[in-house]
Structure 1
Amino acid sequence: MRYAIMVGTEDYPHARNLDRLLAPANDVEQFGTLLSDPRIGGFRVTPLVNRPLREVSTAIEDRLLSATEHDTILIYISGHGILTEDEMLHFPMTDIEADFYRSGALSAQVLKTQVDLSRAKSVIVLLDCCYSGAYFSTKAEGGFNLDSALVAGGEGRVVITATTGTHAFEPLAGGNTEIVSYFTQALIAGLSTGDADRGGDGLVDTAELYQFVHEWLSLNAPGQKPVHRDESVGKIVIARNARGFGVHPELPPQIQRGLQSDDHKTRAAVLGYLQRLAEAPGPEQYLAQESLTYLRKSADHNDQIMDISVSTRQAPTWVLRQMVIDRHNDLNVRIAALFELSTKSTTNNAARHDLISLGRNGSLEILLRIRIAAELGRVVGESYAVGVLDEMVGPTMGKFAWDRLRILLADVYSSNMRWTRGWDVSDLFADPELLWGLVMAVMMAVIGISYDHRIKAVKQLIDMHRQDDIGVKVAIGMLRDQSLDTEIRSRIQREFGLA
């Protein structure tokens, strides 16, 4: 899941040396609206405007320390930043009393420690306040080890601050009640227009956003220079391109305009042209294939890929193979592409070759490889299925695994109840998703997948299928195995937070 805690403080009624600010409430409202837009940020936003320290610190701590390795957390703070006499950065809240900064302000040191201890996959910190660059001189309690954080499930930590210096600026009011600070204006401009998508792949990562903000501020607020610190592995995506899917930057301009047209027929016609080029040997084939890959990677993981007319039935076999491999695609899209490739392979040698190559791809997720093995055994030949399963359950065991898998699938599709023996299933049949979770759990068990790999498979499934909690339902199915010993049962419950 994607969560954003957005703090904006503009009123400090009990602090003598802190002037009232004009922008923070607007900053949170306007930037928060953008982040919560499912077409752009897709975050679940918690706005905290002019709230007391206890409420803010509790909200941040709860979100960071309760996060799982599948979560992305964004912390945004707009307001005053202050340095104490020992030059430690603090963020005062609205209930700060006089000059008691330590007891009335959120400590950057505490925040950094919580960020570093969080199990969240990714944490993004955006600070729009004076002295925010001092965040980088703040040491987390106990220090931070990137390697251990990643082992704990993180993809990394990214911080972008409004300034290296003393001040982060608000525009002059001039009677305007909708003031937004310069730094937040830059964030909004980059995401709302899609201009921060420098790679043209339909996604805005934090490095691209910083580059846009830096250039925007150099033009519009030359005295303010932002700072970027990236302790991550790979790209951390903060938003989708607001203009929709990306197009390959080397395509001719008229083709780019056609793909981004509001007219569905125009998009379909241009896409059809690209598909024909991709299948025909020639100087333009490679660029056409790369362009179609761009479209798939940047499509919304729900059904935007269908909206641009890239349906599995229209796609050439090499596109179907890539759709199965591409981890940007949702599980439903990948399975649909696999089934279509399997159907085509009965009459198409290229499809048959692509299906076999998928079976040899050891980097694919465990449950997906089992599905590929089943399709290989059904339409290509038993020996291919056995070869795939040999790699998964151990040499010489593939034949046994295939026999068990084939019997299980026949039982499931014929509604034969033999597969439920030894499993507590009495209350699951009212929920189809729970039932299919159980089927996947039984399947992994009967073909001999180890417990370590079963747990790994559930984690992969959670990553593959982000729209619901089907992965957790597979874990629930695993717990219905009455032969589980206490240690394994406790481990599954602990890994997936199941009582």
Structure 2
Amino acid sequence: MAKTALLISCGTYSDSRLQPLPSSIPDGARFADLLERPSLGGFNVHVVNDATLVAAQRKIHDTLSSAAFDDLVLLYLSSHGLKDIFGRFYLALPETDLSALPATALSGRFIREQMNDTVARKLVIILDSCFSGAFGRDLVAKSISLSEGTPDEFTEGTGHAVLAASSPIQYALEDGSGEAPTSVFTRAICDGIATGAADIDSDGWISLNDLFEYSAKEVSFRYPLQTPQMSCFGLDGDIKLLRAPSVPRFNAEWPPDIEEATKSIHTELRIAAAHVLGRIAHSPNTDRAGAALRKLRQLRDDYHPEVREEIEHQIAVAPKKPRRKVPIRTIEDKQVRSPKWVEVPASSLVNASQVAATFVSRDASYEIYSYVHYTFSNEEMKLWATDRYRIDIWRLPILGKGDDFATSLPGDLAFSLKAFNGKKKVRMEVGDTVCEFDCNGKLLSIRSAKFDNLPDYESMMGKDVTTSIHVARIPLLDALERTLAATNARNSPIILDLTGSAGDALELYFEGELFPGESVPVKLAGERVKLAFNANFAIAAVSSFSNGTISISVTNPNKPVLITSDGEPEHRHILMPVRLSK
């Protein structure tokens, strides 16, 4: 079975009565990237931007006519949706003349004819345009049957389906609140795929029904005037479109009281459970926060309107992963030609940049601390960020190199490097005021700065380690969170105490509290010490690692500690302690 995707986007028009759509082509590029990734869609993707009527029709015809019986074909169309005086649907192209739609615009009739002519048993059309619901009204279902001996992989569903951004009488909205405008509908689709949230039934697949259910709810909740629709024809079962991305899963189960409350027959208890999950979604423990948000999304179909309202509120206010703010460009837009460059694995750069960027300072008065810093010298690529209280440091493997350099990117823009997720390698080229990141013709240009005399925070670490603590990451995170949740002294430091235990156990508590606190088994080498940290900083530091076990190295209880993991040798985190009163 082949998987083919054709994405046609249009953003500019010769008819002055048609406003430009700056989001159309970038949205299509983001969707194409997700479909093409082997770990997600594995589609053979073809992108056509601002095509003429003849070119668009030829590409649609060639794609559908060449599809084989068992193929899965996805057709994505993004532009202005138009209707003539008879209510017939058209898609605007650059040459479209509003006074001559049948002759200059891509007609719904043409697309329907190509749908009816194709032999492909699985066809999904996604229309992101105004009035797109009008397209599905006149479709005639084809007779589609399974052949004898069809592989199980293909029997999950066959047929034709149309996902429309709006009803036949609604406009499809564009969100201009961010730095770059985006289509509300396409953004919901891409967010659902990229985060895995669109895997509604958590079976590891994002199916046709999953994708529609997720995107429709996200769009309708945020913009009630837009109602996505789905029309199905000859559909026999659900169609698996993409694999859900592998996301960190919270390993421990929910406490029984939360799980029971979500299933209670009492409305008040289910509302309370949604409130508690919403609070957990704000945790600096990213694993636990993500699990809470996924749980809320699973519960959003509650039959009671007050429970649904509380769940949707908690989802809406929960912290979301920062969005990409830098537009994706092509190699033709390249500006920097510099001998200062380096090639690194894309996954290493993306992961390190996104984790480090969470530790930049939000205080505008300290500009240097609001940047992620990148240096290449002595055959070593290092990036790091700090807010003065914790320092997150990464060393990246080198695939190719030019001259040494030192540059810094704004923390909020460093998140944009996630556009290279799933790629093999990225070339970073450093100019005077701009850094360019290039991967297979996909280009990001990010403004940069250069700071002189950056402090060497790693030199703050003493060389003589007196205490080494090896501890399982998830149990430590759980203990930190439970201790923080139980205290009334949230502004006080949390204490990690090894002095009061006969065995190798780490005691966690807040000074002066009457309750005993939490205990976590550890492997201890060296002196027994008592440490104190800002509780949220400690949770964020441990949460920044993904390996099962971490090591905490101590030179002096009042000096910075170093957190590492044998499974992540490229990652180091320095955390400043709080000095305890004697």
* Greater percentage in strand: 2
TM-score normalised by the chain length of structure 1: 0.46
TM-score normalised by the chain length of structure 2: 0.40
